[in-house]
Copies of this chain bind each other. A is one copy, B any other.
Amino acid sequence: MKLATYKDGSRDGQLVVVSRDLASAHYATGIADRLQQALDDWNFISPQLQDLYETLNGGKSRHAFPFDPKQCMAPLPRACQWADGSAYINHVELVRLARNAKVPDNYYTEPLMYQGGSDDFLGPCDAAPFVTEEWGIDFEAEVAVVTADIPMTTTPEQALDGIRLVMLANDWSLRHLIPDELAKSFGFFQSKPATAFSPVAVTLDELGDAWKDGKLHLTMQSQWNGRTVGMCDAGQEMTFHFGQLIAHICKTRNVRAGSIVGSGTVSNRAVEKDGKKEWVKGYSCIAEKRAIETIQDGKPSTDYMKFGDTIKIEMKGQGGQSVFGAIEQSVVKYGK
């Protein structure tokens, strides 16, 4: 099924069930008001949401209304955890190659993850506010999952059973703040402002064969100012699957229901053409484009985003339909 959270002036919004084709929706009133509530008591609540979903898909809901992604908050407008991986090692390799740095050996054997802020997520069509363009505003197109309760020491394979929902994320990054923060060794902080999520979160059964071995085998489409810049395969080249990412958290602690775990920037390797490397799939963040330019030309030529720029992030299913709806945001000056 597909679930979304409608704006209603409250902090957590109102849970709605959305039809498979994203055309219509129905409030889940009487079943659960908020998505976190459904996740807290999934085995009891989700069958009721599923019933409503089937009625809605059959066109038989009496109080259905046209679904409007602009009315959406993030599926979880705030969460108890946002842990983001960097599971596409190609992304790390590119960025490091551009500055002549070696990728440490353990990057290939255990996931890189950082703990993100989860108190103030952006809706899929909310403007993204930043104080200044000088900080190097960049989008990052990612896949993210929402978990059940998963106890400490759970294995990667077991952890896959704890995935309740899948959605897309735009993990906004402020590139020029990153070097100083990483040098302080405490990880990203100011360089990671509020993250945005797709209009709907979907259960695994919606993904069919595209969900395999803990990875989502679909194409992450990124359009920057209306121009397609990325058509990256999110499946094949994911170095660590979602079960591995979750198990990484579980090494020393429990993961509780409603935790969001991200894949990191979706990234694909170059192909060799006439002895030359070509990044034919494009990119899911500008930092990667700049890394490629640096490798090829000695310096980056693409600037980061400016106020007024737009970004659209979406994934189409095997039948061509939008699976999660689109993240469509514009970059704005904070306070204007």
Contacts and interface: CB of A to CB of B under 8 A. Distances in A.
A181 B182 CA distance: 12
Interface in A252-299: 252-259
A50 interface: no
Interface string A93-114: 0000000000010110000111
A189 B256 contact: no
A180 interface: yes
A116 interface: yes
A186 B183 CA distance: 10
Interface in A64-81: 78-81
Interface in A303-321: none
Contacts of A190: 248-249, 251-252
Nearest to A115: B115
A130 interface: yes
A259 B182 contact: no
A183 B118 contact: no
A256 B114 contact: no
A177 interface: yes
A189 B117 CA distance: 13
A203 to B, nearest CB: 21
A334 interface: yes
A165 interface: no
Interface residues of A, number: 55
A11 interface: yes
B187 A114 contact: yes
A126 B185 CA distance: 31
B80 A193 contact: no
Contact of A259 (B119, B184, B259): B119
A135 interface: yes
Given A184-B104, A190-B252, A193-B252, A80 B118 contact: yes
A81 B184 contact: no
A153 interface: yes
Contact of A334 (B116, B153, B180, B189): B153
Contact of A81 (B114, B117, B253, B259): B117
Q: Which 9 A-B pairs have the closest CB atoms?
A: A187-B187, A80-B119, A119-B256, A81-B119, A115-B115, A78-B80, A193-B252, A114-B186, A182-B185
14 contacts: A80-B120, A81-B117, A81-B119, A83-B189, A107-B184, A113-B189, A114-B189, A115-B117, A117-B253, A131-B251, A135-B252, A186-B188, A187-B189, A189-B248
